């Protein structure tokens, strides 16, 4: 805390990892001597810059942009760009730190980074978003590159924004390289990238359930968010026979007792992404559903829960409500959606709990595959990518088991993910000596 004043999200993320790592490194002198954890918790560099743009009323607006390059021990920096008014250096440092372990867990050669701006895309016209993205890239281009740092999308940055940024990068540098992932299929994007995070989270959930001889068939799922991750998680739950009861946005949640099937998910995708609407409108299209303003969905009884909106959206009291209502498994589609108290509640209740760095790694994994396809200048087939995504999620699950199984057989997935991710990065850093 003293080292990082005013950065609560970052301190929280480091504390959580440190707690798990201390036991593991206790008898490993090299990791202590070379200060590996402290080095991973100090970003390689942070670039902070002015993003100046003109709105449709000809007002000049000034925003702040960042790129946090946390660690490139095992590959080029890799991590999304977030446009949201809540973006601060602390939030991006926490995300870049987490990303380092997540990327290592995928088994692919990617380091950890994250970037963004305190820009609110909500209510902005296409032209305003375009001008902002172009201005953002006009500075960012000098810090990124296909072998240096490869950003992707995150909250507020989807296909449209990636297109504007890629176009600007190409224009400035006169190079067509895989500098961003999450690109459109017409210009180097990968099939399955859009679906990968949500699908991957549900594959991970299914793998955890399988360990207890269970599956998703007939299970009631409570999901938060209604963006990319939430809608694709919902889609995969439905495909695997589960029943999705809720979705949400920053104004509240909807509860559909009939279940949110594929047709309704398609409506949400069109409404939220293409029309940029509010989830509250769901009840007008599907009147048996109810809207609950300013509340998260965790009080709705369920078997499994997938927080897929944002950080710290599931607090201690929410975790207690889930557990007492009989929830048996939680898989984090978002990054750090459960606060520390909530994580302790899940751990104490010994329910299956998958942290984001393991459960939501499917997106960055397919981004890694997009990088490979760009290097080869070819596009792999959908079936091949689907299988690779499934294999990667199973691989992450296996790594968590290896380091997270407790003497009584219970699996601490948080610990397993932290140790497996740390070990890979730490061993690479040891190989480089003191740099």
* Residue ranges in contact with ligand NDP by CB under 6 A: 153-156, 197, 225-230, 248-251, 308-310, 313, 333-335, 360, 363
E strand or H helix at 323: helix 316-324
**Measured from the CB of residue 226, what is the shortest distance to ligand NDP in angstroms?**
4
Q: What is the three-class DSSP state of 95? A: helix
Q: At which residue do the structure tokens 């559909």 appear?
A: 256
Please identify, using beta-carbon distances, which residue of 4 and 312 lies nearer to ligand NDP: 312
What minimum distance in Å lies between the beta carbon of 22 and ligand NDP? 26
Other C-beta atoms lying within 10 Å of the C-beta of residue 401: 16
In the complex, residue closest to ligand NDP by CB: 227
Q: Of 114 and 219, which has the nearer Cβ to ligand NDP?
A: 114
Choice between 289 and 334, CB closer to ligand NDP: 334
Least Å distance, CB 237 to ligand NDP, is: 15
d(Cα 267, Cα 286) in Å, to the nearest integer? 10
- Residue 398 host element (H or E): helix 382-404
Q: Residue 143: how many CB atoms within 10 A of its CB?
A: 17
CB of 391: closest distance to ligand NDP in angstroms? 18
Q: What's the min distance (Å) between Cβ of 363 and ligand NDP?
A: 3
Q: Which of 315, 326, 392, 404 is nearest to 359 (CA)?
A: 392
Name which of 110 and 229 has its Cβ closer to ligand NDP.
229
Q: How many residues does the chain have?
A: 435
H/E stretch holding 66 reads strand 60-71
In the complex with ligand NDP, the residue whose CB is nearer, 36 or 192, is: 192
Eight-class DSSP state of 424 = H
Q: How far, in Å, CA of 166 to CA of 379, rounded?
A: 18
Q: At what angle do helices 228-239 and 193-211 cross, to 10 degrees?
A: 50
DSSP per-residue string spanning 28-65: -HHHHHTTHHHHHTS-SEEEEEEEEEE-TTS-EEEEEE
Q: For residue 87, which of 104, 101, 70, 67 has the smallest C-alpha distance?
A: 67
Query: Is 114 assigned a catalytic role?
Result: yes
DSSP string across 185-227: GGGT--TTHHHHHHHHHHHHHHHHHHHTT--STT-EEEEE--S
For every residue of 243-286, which 3-state class applies, written as one string?
Answer: EEEEEEECCEEEECCCCCCHHHHHHHHHHHHHCCCCHHHHHHHC
Give me the catalytic one of 102, 114, 264, 357.
114
Q: How far is the CB of 362 from ligand NDP (least distance, A)?
A: 8
**Other C-beta atoms within 10 Å of 211: how many?**
13
- Closer by beta carbon to ligand NDP, 188 or else 362: 362
> CB count, 10 Å around CB of 52?
14
Query: Taking the complex as a whole, how short is the minimal distance between the CB of residue 115 and ligand NDP, in angstroms?
Result: 12
Dihedral angle computed from the Cα positions of residues 307, 310, 311 and 312, in that order, rounded to the nearest 10 degrees: -60
Q: Of 50 and 122, which has the nearer Cβ to ligand NDP?
A: 122
Give least dist CB 385 to ligand NDP, A: 14
The nearer residue to ligand NDP, 173 or 372, going by C-beta atoms, is 372
Name the H helices within 106-143.
Answer: 126-140
Q: Which is nearer to ligand NDP, 179 or 429 (CB)?
A: 179
Closest approach of Cβ 251 to ligand NDP, in Å?
Answer: 6
What are the residue numbers of the active site?
A: 114
């Amino acid at each position: 805390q003293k080292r990082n004043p005013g950065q609560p999200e970052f301190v929280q993320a480091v504390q959580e990892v440190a707690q798990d790592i201390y036991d593991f490194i206790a008898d490993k002198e090299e990791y202590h001597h070379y200060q590996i954890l402290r080095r991973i918790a100090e970003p390689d560099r942070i670039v902070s810059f002015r993003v100046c743009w003109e709105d449709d009323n000809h007002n000049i607006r000034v925003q702040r942009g960042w790129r946090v390059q946390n660690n490139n021990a095992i590959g080029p920096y890799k991590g999304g760009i977030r446009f949201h008014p809540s973006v601060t250096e602390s939030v991006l440092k926490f995300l870049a730190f987490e990303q380092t372990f997540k990327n290592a867990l995928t088994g692919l050669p990617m380091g950890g980074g994250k970037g963004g701006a305190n820009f609110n895309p909500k209510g902005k016209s296409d032209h305003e978003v375009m001008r902002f993205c172009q201005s953002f890239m006009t500075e960012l281009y000098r810090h990124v590159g296909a072998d240096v740092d490869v950003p992707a999308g995150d909250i507020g940055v989807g296909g449209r924004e990636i297109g504007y940024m890629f176009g600007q990068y190409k224009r400035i540098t006169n190079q067509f390289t895989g500098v961003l992932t999450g690109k459109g299929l017409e210009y180097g994007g990968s099939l399955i990238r859009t679906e990968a995070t949500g699908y991957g989270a549900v594959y991970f959930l299914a793998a955890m359930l399988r360990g207890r001889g269970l599956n998703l068939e007939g299970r009631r799922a409570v999901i938060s968010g209604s963006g990319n991750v939430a809608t694709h998680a919902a889609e995969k739950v439905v495909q695997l026979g589960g029943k999705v009861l809720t979705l949400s946005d920053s104004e509240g949640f909807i509860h559909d007792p009939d279940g949110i099937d594929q047709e309704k998910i398609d409506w949400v995708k069109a409404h939220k992404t293409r029309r940029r609407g509010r989830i509250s409108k769901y009840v007008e299209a599907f009147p048996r559903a109810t809207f609950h303003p300013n509340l998260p969905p965790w009080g709705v009884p369920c078997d499994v829960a997938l927080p897929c909106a944002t950080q710290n959206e599931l607090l201690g009291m929410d975790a207690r409500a889930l557990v007492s209502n009989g929830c048996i498994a939680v898989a984090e589609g978002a990054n750090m959606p459960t606060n520390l108290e909530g994580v302790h509640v899940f751990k104490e209740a010994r329910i299956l709990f998958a942290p984001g760095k393991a459960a939501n790694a499917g997106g960055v994994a397919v981004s890694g595959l997009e990088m490979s396809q760009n290097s080869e200048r070819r596009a792999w087939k959908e079936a091949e990518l689907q299988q690779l995504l499934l294999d990667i999620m199973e691989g992450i699950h296996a790594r968590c088991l290896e380091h997270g199984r407790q003497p009584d057989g219970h699996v601490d997935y948080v610990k397993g993910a932290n140790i497996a991710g740390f070990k890979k990065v730490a061993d690479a850093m040891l190989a480089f000596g003191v740099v």
